[in-house]
Amino acid sequence: MKICIISNLYPPFIRGGAEIVAAMQAEGLKDAWQHVFVVSSRPSQVKVIGNSIFTSNTWATTVDTVNDTDVYRFNPNNIYYYLNDFKYPSFIRLLWHLFDTFNIFSYFKIKKILAKEKPDLVITHNLMGIGFLIPRLIKTMKIKHIHTVHDVQLVTPSGLIVKGEENALSHRFFKMIGYPKLMRYLMGSPDIVISPSKFLFNFYKESNFFSKSKKFVLPNPIKSLLKVEKKASPNLRLIYLGQMHKAKGVLDLIINFKEIKLPHIRLDVVGVGEDLKKAKVLAKGDKRIRFYGWLDHKQLIPILTKADLMIVPSLCYENSPTVIYESLSMGLPVITSEIGGASELIKEGLNGWTFPAGEFDILNKKIISLYKQREKISAMANNCRRSVANYTLENYSQVLLKIINDEYKQKS
C-alpha cells in the first residue's frame, strides 16, 4: 500500500512523544515493505538542519528525507510557528488557534500533495499546528483514514488538563464557546482510531468523539530491547526526561527533591520548554541537580545507561508517555504518578512504582526507601525489558498492518 502519515511535527522538529511515534511508525511500515511518505510542518525560514536543506521561501513546499522516507514540509502561515507558542501571550495564542482550526492554506497545500501522491491510506497524528480541516479533506477525497490520538487537545487546545483543575476557567471557556463540539464535527469518525492507552479512549468516549470509528488500543512501539551493564555505585541516580512545563510536574519534583538531604541521591533533568528558567532558579544551590537541555537520541543513551530510576511526575492527564517505553526497554525502572494512562504499563514492584499525582511527599518516601535497597532496583532490569518485549517496532507494524488489512477485507 501507499501510506501517507500526517503529523504536525516530524523529526528534526520535536516537542514530545507524538512525533517520535509518527517517525517510528513510518520506519516500521517502510521496513514492512509499504510505500510511505510523510506530510508535516516547518518554520518559515530554515536553511540547513543536519543533511536536510530547506528553502527560505515561506510559501514553498519542500521535500527532504528522514530514514529514507520522503517528508513534505510547508509553513502553515499562521501568526507564529507551533514550536514558538510559549513566546506569546494568551490572547495571541487564542487568535492563533482560530486560524489553525480553519487553516485553508494548509488544506490546499495538503490537497495538492495528496492529489499528486494518491495514497491508499492516510494516518494522522496530532494536527494542531498544521490544521484541523485535514480530516474533512481526507473524507472529501475518499481516502481511507486512521487517526492516532496522543493527548486531550480535541477537548482543550492546550492538550493539558491538570489534576484538580478539571473545571479551570480556561477549560470551561473553550467548552462554553463550543470548541469540543467543533472538534467532533471537524474530526468526524475516521475509519479507525488508535490509542496507546485505554484511558484516552474512555476520555474521548465520555466527550462523544469517534462514535462510528473502529477503535484499537495499540501500545507505542520501542526500537529494541537494550541490555545495559551498570557498575556498582553508592549513588542513586534519578532522571527526569520530558518537557519543561509545570503541568508535567518537573517544578514540583525539583522543589521536593531538595527536601531530600541525602548527598548520594542525584537528579538529572533532560528537556527544554517554557519553564526551563524557573526550574533552574528552583534548583539553584543544589549541586545534586544537573540540567542537560535538549539531547538527541545518541546523546541521551549514555545518560540513561547511568540512571537508576526514571521519574515521570506528571500532574496532567497523560496518554501513554513514550519515555516510559524507552526506559523499560533499557531495563530502567520507572516511578510514575497515577494519572491518565501513564501508569497502565507499570506493575508495582515488578517494573516500577506509582504514586498519587501531586503527592510528592509519598514520592520522596519511595525514593529514600529505594536508596536504602538499591540492589532491588538493579534486580528489576529483566522484568522491565520483559514488560515491553511485545512492543517492538516490528510487532507494532505487524499488528497495525493486520488492523488495516482486516478493515480493507471487510469493505472490499
Grid coordinates of 19: 512525533
Q: Percentage of the chain with pLDDT > 90? A: 73
User: What is 338-389 written as a DSSP string?
Assistant: ESBTTTTT--BTTTEEEEETT-HHHHHHHHHHHHTTHHHHHTTHHHHHHHTG
Domain ranges of the chain: 2-221+392-411, 236-390
Q: Which among 300, 348, 299 has a CA at the least distance from the CA of 322?
A: 300
Which conformational region is residue 352 in: left (phi greater than 0), alpha (psi within -120 to 50 degrees), or beta?
left
So what's the pLDDT on residue 274? Answer: 87
So what's the pLDDT on residue 46? Answer: 64
So what's the pLDDT on residue 397? Answer: 96
CB 47 within 8 A of CB 72: no
So what's the pLDDT on residue 411? Answer: 63
Least confident of 68-77, 115-124, 250-259, 291-300: 291-300
Least confident of 189-193, 273-277, 279-283: 273-277
What is the CATH architecture of 2-221+392-411? 3-Layer(aba) Sandwich (3.40)
pLDDT tens, 293-337? 988 778 888 888 889 999 999 999 989 899 999 999 999 999 999
pLDDT reading at 51 higher than 60: no
Mean pLDDT of 137-156: 96
**Are 2-221+392-411 and 236-390 equal in CATH topology?**
yes
So what's the pLDDT on residue 410? Answer: 64
CB 306 within 8 A of CB 276: no
So what's the pLDDT on residue 253? Answer: 97
pLDDT reading at 412 higher than 70: no
pLDDT tens, 197-229? 999 999 999 999 999 999 999 999 998 888 777
Distance CA 167, CA 401 (A): 40
Q: What mean pLDDT value characterizes the chain?
A: 91
Mean pLDDT of 367-385: 90
User: What is 12-34 written as a DSSP string?
Assistant: TS-SSHHHHHHHHHHHHHHHTT-
CB 322 within 8 A of CB 329: no
Residue found under cell 540513561: 304
So what's the pLDDT on residue 227? Answer: 79
Residue found under cell 510487532: 395
Distance CA 80, CA 98 (A): 13
Mean pLDDT of 1-5: 96
Q: Which among 152, 148, 118 has a CA at the least distance from the CA of 135?
A: 148
Buried residues in 289-298 as b, exposed as e (16+ CB within 10 A): bebeeebeee
So what's the pLDDT on residue 57? Answer: 67
Grid coordinates of 87: 513566546
Helices (H), 118-146: 134-140
Grid coordinates of 172: 470551561
Considering Cα of 372, then 333, then 299, then 150, what sign does the dihedral take?
A: negative
Predicted TM-score (pTM) of the model is 0.90
So what's the pLDDT on residue 47? Answer: 59
Mean pLDDT of 126-135: 96
So what's the pLDDT on residue 21? Answer: 95
Task: From the options 3.40.50.970, 3.90.650.10, 3.30.43.10, 3.40.50.2000, give the CATH code of 236-390.
Answer: 3.40.50.2000
